[in-house]
Structures are given as structure tokens and as C-alpha cells.
Structure 1
Amino acid sequence: MGEYAVHRLVAVHQQLDEAEPGYVLVAGDSQAELQSPSERICGAPIVNIGVSGATAAVYAGMLPELEFPVRASAAILTIGTNDLIGKKNPLAPDVADRFGQEVGSIVARLKTVSDRVVVTAVPPLGRALADEFEAKAVAAYSERIEALCARIGCLYADPFSELRDGDTGFGRPGVNRNGLHLTRYRPVLRNLAATLCPHAASAP
């Protein structure tokens, strides 16, 4: 575990200790951490336990260290961006299989703290990262997540669909701020609210 993750877990523990009943848990890598905890989803407060830089394996290893004094009304997981680095050969069958296994471990843990677990598709990449990341793995890993949820009982959602440049794995122009992260995260939360509470007037 990196130094940043160690310090980040201090804040995560604090948020969990002060969580209000009915909160929505936001979990995963930086794509999750960048969701503002000041936002609400479906009228519920957010507890953000995202950790920037985490791969699926790293995050699966971190979750057992966390305690959840209060159950979440829902848990949303976004993971996979850091698993797409080209030198990791993410499209190799054994590597992709391990990714699926690690995501399955994360979901199993989240299901112990919430009856509703949503796992998102992998967000699109910026074209500036074409030489460093394997863009084709965005769709491949998202499909694995969808199949996993169908098999083990989580809800799959793609709140990034309108941001994608077709099936290239890249975002449309202006979608990515630095190649890796999105320019705006609030619309993503709005799309997730449509999945969690499609009839709620309080959806952001």
C-alpha cells in the first residue's frame, strides 16, 4: 500500500465512524474519490471511501481493514482505470481473469455492508493516454464487470455512456481533464441516481 493510501485511509475511517444511517457508500479508485462528499444522491448523504491510484487488487486488499459501524443504503463501486496500464498487459486472459476475481472479492465485501451494490463500467480514457493505457480494455473490462454482476447479484450501470466516443475506450472531446480523470463528475452522480432511485424527485 502506498503512502497516499495510508493517509487517505485516515480520512476514510473518520467518514465511516461518523456515517449517518441511510448513507450511500462510494467506493473504488480516484474516479470514485473525486465524487464530492458534499453531494447527495437520492436525497442521501455520501460517504466516500475511494482511494486514488488503487487497482482492483490493491482495493480488495484494503477493504478488510475497514469497519462499517452503520450499514449503507447502497454501495457504488468504480474500479478498473489503474488496471488498464499497457505494461500490465490487461487484455491477456490471465490478467483479465484476475481482475474479475478481485472485483468479485470487492463486491462480496460490499455486500456485507449494503443490500444494494452497484458496480459501474470503467470510465473512458483521454486520448492523451493512448500510449500508456490499453483503451480496448475499457470495453473488455466493463463487459467482465457486467457479466460478474449477472452472476453474483450486483447491479451493473454505465453512467459514462454519454461521455464515450463510441467503443474506442476514449472519451469524447472535452470529457477528460488530464487524460485520466473526468472534467465533471456531477453528471455521473446524476446518472447513478437515475439507476438507484429513478422515481425520486430528490435525485441530483
Structure 2
Amino acid sequence: MRRALLLGAAGLALAGAGGALGWSLHTAKLDARLYAQNRLIAVQVHLDAAPAEYVFLAGDSQAELQSPSERPCGREIVNGGVSGATAAVYADLLRSLRFPVRPRAAVLTIGTNDLLRKNDPLSADASARFEKAAGAIVATLKAAADEVVVTALPPVGRELDRWLEPAAVGRYSARLKALCERLGCRFADPFEALRDGDTGFAKPGAMRDGLHLSAYRPVMRALEPALCPTLPPSRPAAGP
């Protein structure tokens, strides 16, 4: 169990000298739920102690790997990302969290773990399930936060073409954009500079292991134009 949790915490990664994918990519749902048992304890502790007008980061490892030292729009963050989570898994996990202090904004990045070719992500059924789960996440976040921003899916590395469906990156992102138009959230694409056109693949050097970004701070900076206009200027903390 300890080894499973550690592997889950590391997220989905390339394993072995031959570059074969680790077992966590093939059992993402199981890994996410095992990892979430401990991860959600930490998230809830941070939510219980959150300051006013913070930003909540939701989603999979693309959210979790954002540094806790980031201060988008001058605000603290509480990072609620769970590595390995699909949209359906995260929809369930999010419902277990409590928000004693209301976030000023929530940012959702989800979908990478829904791209497995073996699950036929381009099929009508898989696409509809993804959209339904994403809609459930957005509804939960809208009930908890003043503003909700949903990002496009990040691109994937070409070395993962055997396992992931790059064409679904654009299609699922389009579904998220339409979802926001329908539900009243904001849509943003902070990964635009990393994309190799509309292929679904990343530019050379943009990814660390084909799945995770080489750098996350530039993504947060790219997100701020969509996020910050929705937030009033942050107030300095009260003195003693």
C-alpha cells in the first residue's frame, strides 16, 4: 500500500529504460482513489485554514503540480489537485471536500487522464461521459466559489501517442468551452504557447515526461489575464 501511494503521488510517468509507461497510467482510476485517501486530508486541512479571497486550484496533476508559493492575482492558493484523477473520479472526490471559507475563485484543469486510447476517448459515449463529469465538477465549484475558470486540456508529448489520443485534446477542450458558455464559467487556454498547432501534441521541450509540463509557473502567468479581471484588488491583511 505504501508503494502504491508513493507511485500515485508521483503521478503518471514514464517508467523503465525502454520508456514504457508505468502501471499507474493503465490503472489511473484506482491510483487516483488510493492516492486521494491521503491527499484529500491535506487539502481539507488547508481549506479549513484558508484566508479570505483565496484561489482554489482543482483538477488532476496539472493542477496539483502548481507551486503553493504561487499568488495568482496577488492571492494565496489552496491546491486541491489530485494526480491521476479523471473527470469522473474528481467529480466524486470534490464532493467530499468542505469549504468553510468561500474561495474568491476556483480554477479547474481536468481531462488529461481521460485521453487513454484504450477507453476510446473520441467515441460519442466517452465524450458525453467526460462532459457530464466536467459539468458536475463545475456545478460543485460554482456553489463553492464566487468565480470559476476552466482551462483547456494541455497538449501531450508525441512519445505518448501509443497510449493517449491527441485528437481528443482539442475536442475535449471545445466541450469544456461550450460547457462554460452554458453554465456560466470562464474558459481559458493557458497552454496555447505549448501547443504544436492543433495536433494535440506539445512543442519540443514543453513536456517533462510527455504528460507533465516542463514548467508550471508560466502557465499560471498565462492564466492571469482570464482570472484577474474577475477579481477585485486584493486587500492587505489587517494589522495587529
TM-score normalised to structure 2 length: 0.82
Q: Does 1:139 align with 2:173?
A: no
Q: Does 1:121 align with 2:152?
A: yes
Higher relative contact order (CA closer than 8 Å, sequence separation 6+): 1
Q: Structure 2 CA distance, aligned partners of 1:95 and 1:56?
A: 11
1:180 paired residue number? 211
Q: Does 1:30 align with 2:71?
A: no
1:108 paired residue number? 139
TM-score normalised to structure 1 length: 0.96
Deviation at 1:4, TM superposition (A): 1.1
Task: Tell me: CA distance 1:183–1:201, structure 2 relative to 1, closer, same or farther (3 Å).
Answer: farther
User: Which protein is richer in helix relative to its size?
Assistant: 2
Deviation at 1:41, TM superposition (A): 0.5
Q: Does 1:44 align with 2:70?
A: no
1:161 paired residue number? 192
2:123 paired residue number? 92
Runs of 4+ in structure 1 over 2 Å off:
198-202
Q: Structure 2 CA distance, aligned partners of 1:52 and 1:83?
A: 13
Contact 2:206 2:213 in 1 (8 A): yes
| Larger CA deviation: 1-10 vs 60-69 | 1-10
Gaps of 5+ in 1: none
Gaps of 5+ in 2: 1-29, 235-240
2:105 paired residue number? 74
Length, aligned pairs only: 202
Q: What is the percent sequence identity of the aligned residues?
A: 60
Q: Structure 2 CA distance, aligned partners of 1:164 and 1:104?
A: 25
Q: Structure 1 CA distance, aligned partners of 2:125 and 2:169?
A: 16
> 1:135-163, CA deviations, whole angstroms, 9 ceiling, x for partnerless residues?
00000000000011001111000000011
